Amino acid sequence: MFKRRNAATQDAPAGSGPGTAGTADKADGAGHAVTAGKGRPTPKRSEAERARRYTAPGDRKEAMRQARGRDRQARGRKAEAMRRGEEWALPAKDRGPVRALARDYVDSKRRFSEFYMYGLIVLIFLLFIRSPITAAILPGVLILMILVMAAEGFFIGRRVTALAAERYPGESTRGVKLYSAMRALQIRKLRFPKPRVKPGEAV
């Protein structure tokens, strides 16, 4: 009986045994079985995470250069957000709904105070012209400009305070009058944060 079983085992073809079914073994030229692989070892999980993780450069100068570049980009993003008037990037003096309302109210109209800087440049130029007529006119023109700007600033401050009390009851309006008057004196293109409303739009 043992001899018959050994003979049957020897006559069975290679690879038909119970441990060889479903394997991807291949035979090379010499007849040896070769297991087919994917061509590279599977990386460990720790190695894959280490490859994804940022590694600081070994050179100290290069690290400082990269840090300066990141800081420059962060400052640029914050400056752009400040110009757009985003609350998180604004200085403390420009934050809050009352200050935003004051800016919008001032920017919604064209006023004489907006052209004050242009008039001041003209007056400084006229000071260099030695003429009796110019010397007699300039003081009166300068006083008139100051009076007009003071009157505009007063009425702008009162109107902004009334609107803030109506729309944002309980919010502090401390300093908003001077804040509104000083913004009205600035050239529109140079105002900061830049205007959100156009002249003539309702606020």
Which sequence spans correspond to the domains of the chain?
60-89, 92-190
φ/ψ of residue 58, rounded to 5 = -70, -30
H runs (alpha helix) in the chain = 2-11, 45-52, 60-84, 97-107, 116-127, 132-167, 176-185
Query: How far is 167 from 203, CA to CA, in rounded Å?
Result: 11
Assigned token pair, 172: 């502090």
Determine the 3-state secondary structure of 200 from DSSP: coil
What pLDDT does residue 69 have? 86
What pLDDT does residue 56 have? 57
What pLDDT does residue 124 have? 86
φ/ψ of residue 199, rounded to 5 = -60, 135
pLDDT tens-digit profile, the chain (203 residues): 444 444 444 444 444 444 444 444 444 444 544 444 455 556 566 665 655 555 556 678 888 888 888 888 888 888 888 888 888 888 999 999 999 999 999 999 999 999 988 988 888 888 888 888 888 888 899 999 999 999 999 999 999 999 999 999 999 999 999 999 999 999 999 999 999 999 999 88
- Tell me the residue type at 129: I
What pLDDT does residue 25 have? 46
- Residue 88 is classified by DSSP as G
- Residue 36 is classified by DSSP as -
Name, in order, each residue with C-beta under 8 angstroms of 34's C-beta and a sequence gap of 6 or more. Answer: 25, 26, 27, 28
What pLDDT does residue 51 have? 53
What pLDDT does residue 81 have? 85
Question: pTM of this prediction?
Answer: 0.63
